[in-house]
Amino acid sequence: MVSMRLGSLRARLVALIVLAALPTLGLAIYAYVGQRRAAAQEGREAALRVARDLVRAHEQRLGETRRLLVTLAAMPETRMADGAACSARYAAILREFPDMSALGVAAASGDVTCSAVPVSQRVNVTDRPWFDRAVRTQTFTTGDHELDPATRKPQLVAAYPVPYPGGGTQQVVFGALDLGWVGRSTAAEDLPPDWAVALSDDRGTILARHPDPWKWVGQRLPEASLISAAVAEKGEGTAEVAGADGIVRLLGFAPVPGPAGTRRAYISVALPRDAAFEAAERTFRWNLFGLGLVTAAAIMAAWWGSEWFVLRRVKTLADATTRLATGDLEARAEVTGRDEIGVLARGLNGMAARVSAMVGAEREARLVLAGRVDTLVAERTREVELLRQLSELLQACATPDEAHAVMGQLCSRLFPDAAGQVLVTPASRDGLWAVAVWGPPLAGGRERFQLDDCWALRRGRVYRVDDVSASPACLHLGPANPPAFVCVPLAAQGETLGLFTLAVPPGSMVEGGLGEARVRLAVTVAEQFALALANVRLRETLRGQSIRDPLTGLFNRRYMEETLDRELSRSEREHRPLSLILLDIDRFKHFNDTFGHEAGDIILSSLGALLRSASRAGDVACRYGGEEFVLILPAASLADALRRAEEIREAIRGLRVTHGGRPLEAVRCSMGVAAYPEHGGVGGSLLRAADAALYRAKREGRDQVVLAD
């Protein structure tokens, strides 16, 4: 049996069946997407209906509260002066209303004279918005939906004024509606366990919730900002939001009405989107299962049918082709029939006969060409090996000078019969400098010139001339132009780094210039060198950034510590001294407070420039931290260090710095000097000795140099 292979006839037949099933799969997916969309819409509408029902239930409870307060206002106990009797009566009434958490009466002065809930001290409610609103409007009113400051329980305080017969407010009857009824009512409604109902204020703070009210009351809803904006715009609505737990929920919300001047509240109902999609996903899985069964049956039929009708004949034809490919020119395909496979077999047999006749002539021609090909292959192999060596060596170079040396050595081997140069642009970009030269020198050729002297650099691409009499030559090649040359710009990372030049020496007999192979090799070498040079320069730049302080240009503290340990080890080996100067700007904090931190940065930068200019070859000037600086003086004795410190201090006294067009105060510094081996043999000991001397200089008047004890 012919095995299943990618690209075989059997595989293609199976692929056609799979492709035929794709439209049905697309229809199933389309129906699934529509069902999910409908399920999401239905879920949001269901959540909104529950939210509306809860709002109506809240309005009913508010109406019952109003009727209760009106009844209490008409009771004799409310108007009596006996607060104990009133409180007892109200306490009995409160037990009959489980959704109420408090009942009471407040006098016109705001003092609570009657309370169903015992109070241990005098309570005055004149600062409560509901009391002020009831007195002003002389009607039933409510406060804000809020958490009781004392008990942290959610409540809504309602108030009803009791007027004097002649006008004015005698008392205000009030009651606190326990907003926890939202959770209790939701639990009684037996909603699905994964639904959540919450009552929140306009800032999104949860006042009541089902389930887990103890976990959520007082917290903010993750979708609070979305719902607040929607409520402000259209009163109620639906949304699809992702909660803090990463679960996407379908949300319905509706505002809870209240008197003018009160903060808005709303009830939101959320259910997981995945729960709404369960029916759609179940239908989709059954559709996929049915489609898979039908497709599998069709594939099995195609698999076994193709074996009998197609693959056996194709296998016979393929075997004959394989024998021909391995050199058996006597192989023939024994396939009959007038269909396409039979026609193909007869064509193969005729081709085999003609190939057998041509093999002899081809063998003779191959023997003639073998000698030339071997020479060319050897040359190309040598070039590939040299290119590999060049790439490895360039990648291992640590400095530009090493890369220049590698180019000079290997290019002389890659281009033994040509003259060449590698030129690079210095940091100042004031021209090109030759860093590698090989081959016979070009008469009058320059090893330093400007960028405009080369046509390749002007045009920004390779400039090749195979006949110098027919095209202009570059000026840097000199008056005795070579017969042919190529100039390749060294470009990497969007920057021109230099130039690679290869030329036929004057007097050489050449035809056709440098040749395509040599030009391609030159371009490849130039590209490798440009990339390696860019990487080396980048590593040097990053190295400088990692050891330099960006504000002062001096070495940073980490480099100072490494250098101090290294120089101390060298001083110990070579038995020579080493000195250390620790410098601190006097009253620098006062300077910053007076002139500002920008002026302070200018002082630090100017002092860094002075220390760089005052440093000798081998000295290491560092910013130790803040306004402190360290100078490491290898091979300097203690006397030399004291003299250098005094010179630097005098130079600092003469430093004049301006900021914003006005001169700043004169800079003064205190210095501590320590030396090896007098004050320690390790970096930490020297720094501590110099630091102690520095602080003694500060205590003894500043602006002076003090030697460590």
Segment 22-31 long-range contacts (CB within 8 Å, at least 24 positions apart) = 24/291, 25/288, 25/291, 28/284, 28/287, 28/288, 28/291, 29/284, 31/284, 31/287
Question: For residue 673, is pLDDT > 90?
Answer: yes
pTM: 0.42
Cα 120 to Cα 94, 112, 171, distances in angstroms: 19, 12, 21
Look up residue 337 and give its DSSP letter.
-
Whole-number Å distance between alpha carbons of 283 and 199:
36
Q: What is the pLDDT of residues 606-649, one digit of tens each?
A: 999 999 988 888 899 999 988 999 999 999 999 999 999 999 99
Quote the pLDDT of residue 5.
Answer: 57
User: Rounded to 5, what percent of the chain is helix, strand, coil?
Assistant: 50, 20, 30
- Residue scoring higher pLDDT (4 or 164): 164
Please report the pLDDT score of residue 373 as a whole number: 60
- The overall average pLDDT reported for the chain is 80
Q: Is the pLDDT of residue 106 over 90?
A: no
Separation of first and last alpha carbons in the chain: 98
pLDDT band at 3 (very low <50, low <70, confident <90, very high): very low
Q: Are 158 and 189 in contact (CB under 8 A)?
A: no
Alpha-carbon distance 645 to 689, whole Å?
Answer: 16
pLDDT of 561 over the 70 cut: yes
- Predicted pLDDT at 634: 94
Contacts by 77-85 with C-beta closer than 8 Å and gap 24+? 77/114, 78/105, 78/114, 78/162, 78/171, 78/173, 79/162, 79/170, 79/171, 83/113, 83/114
Report the helix count and the strand count for the chain, using DSSP H and E. 19, 24
Mean pLDDT of 466-471: 80
What pLDDT shows up at residue 699?
A: 93
Which burial class, exposed, middle or buried, applies to 557 when counting CB atoms under 10 A from its CB (0-12, 13-18, 19+)?
A: middle
Beta bridge partners of 252: 238, 269
Question: Can you give the pLDDT at residue 672?
Answer: 94
- Decide which of 568 and 286 is more confident: 568
Q: Which residue has the higher pLDDT, 707 or 47?
A: 707
Q: How many other CB atoms are found less than 10 A from the CB of residue 431?
A: 14
DSSP 572-607: HHHT--EEEEEEEETTHHHHHHHH-HHHHHHHHHHH
Percent pLDDT > 90 in the chain is: 14
* Least trusted range by pLDDT, from 92-101, 224-233, 563-572: 224-233
* pLDDT at 71 exceeding the cut of 90: no
pLDDT bin (cut points 50, 70, 90) of residue 20 is: confident
Range ranked top by mean pLDDT from 279-283, 362-366, 397-401: 397-401
Longest dimension (CA), the chain: 136
Closest CA to 211 of 184, 234, 179, 237: 184
Using omega within 30 degrees of 0 as the cis cutoff, is the peptide bond preceding 163 cis?
Answer: no
pLDDT of residue 691: 94
Dihedral through CA 465, CA 467, CA 471, CA 473, nearest 10?
Answer: 60
Go through the domains of the chain in sequence order and give each one's CATH number: 9-42+289-320 (no CATH), 44-276 (3.30.450.20), 398-543 (3.30.450.40), 548-707 (3.30.70.270)
pLDDT category of residue 695 using cuts at 50, 70 and 90? very high
Q: What is the pLDDT of residue 120?
A: 77
Could you tell me if 699 and 666 are in contact, meaning their C-beta atoms sit under 8 angstroms apart? Answer: no
Least confident of 227-241, 341-355, 412-426, 530-544: 227-241
Mean pLDDT for the stretch of residues 301-330? 73
Burial of 257 (0-12, 13-18, 19+ CB in 10 A): middle
Residue 706: Cβ within 10 Å count = 21
pLDDT digits (tens, 9 = 90+) for 240-284: 776 655 677 777 878 887 777 677 787 878 777 776 667 777 787
Give the strand pairing for 206-210 and 196-201: antiparallel
Mean pLDDT of 101-105: 85
pLDDT number for residue 532: 82
Structure confidence at residue 317 as a pLDDT band (50, 70, 90): confident
pLDDT reading at 431 higher than 90: no
∠ CA 227-228-229, nearest 5°, is 90
Stretch 62-79: mean pLDDT: 84
Distance (Å, whole) CA 680 – CA 691:
13
Q: How confident is the model at residue 1 (pLDDT cuts 50, 70, 90)?
A: very low
The C-alpha atoms of residue 395 and residue 548 are separated, in whole angstroms, by 26
Element holding 496 (H helix, E strand): strand 495-503
| Dist. CA 107–CA 493, nearest whole Å | 84
